Every structure is written in C-alpha cells, then in structure tokens.
Amino acid sequence: MKNTHLKPHLAGLQATQSGWFALRVLAVLFARRAALHLCEQRQARCGYVIRGEYCPLVNEYNETVFGGDFDTPADYLDPLIRGNITSNGNYAVYPPNPYDADTLNDFDTQPDPCKSV
C-alpha cells in the first residue's frame, strides 16, 4: 500500500526553499522535545543491581526488587530505594531533572519552592 497522498505536499515543500527549511526546523524541534522528555522523567534510566541489570524505561519494577516493603511500583525518589540500588558498588543513572509535572516528592525536608537561608 503506497502512501501517495503525501507526495504532492512533500513536493510542494521541496519546491520552495523556505518550505524545506521549515520542515527541517520542525523536525529538529520535534526531536529536541522527544529528547528532553527523556531527561525529565523521574525514573532511573538504567542501572546494575546485584541480581542483574535493570532498565526502568522498558520495564516497571516493584519496590520489593530493590529491597522495599511493598509490592507496588518502585519510587526512585525514595532514599531507601536509592540507597539499596547504589549499595555495594552498584550504580544507577538518573535523569538531570528527576521531577515530572505530576511528581510528588514525599521525602523533602522543607516545602518547595521556599528555601530557608
């Protein structure tokens, strides 16, 4: 099945230099936004724990896998879970911004965005 209804539109974009430039700019902006979305999630990217390699982007792991108490999805902001992951020379790669728009951080010691001096 050929996709022939896109051919005239792409031909029109290729015919004008500004249209071709706009298509490239949109493609770059889309790729940038997709990359930024990966940097803003609160899950660890990948890590190595004593029993093997884990990648939370692909699979969802329970807290019990990392030494937690409950059979619920792991909260990678939990200091206990972070400590268990990084104990005994293991590591985890976290995003630069571990908070998403709907992230609840129950482990802060002070309210956000206030910062006491």
**pLDDT, position 59:** 80
- The phi-psi region of residue 80 (left if phi > 0; otherwise alpha if psi is between -120 and 50; otherwise beta) is alpha
**Confidence (pLDDT) at 51:** 54
C-alpha–C-alpha distance, residues 78 and 72, integer Å? 13
DSSP state of 49: E
The tens place of each residue's pLDDT in the chain, 117 residues long, gives 566 777 777 777 777 788 788 888 988 998 988 777 666 655 555 555 545 677 777 788 888 888 888 898 888 888 888 888 888 777 787 777 777 677 777 777 776 666 555
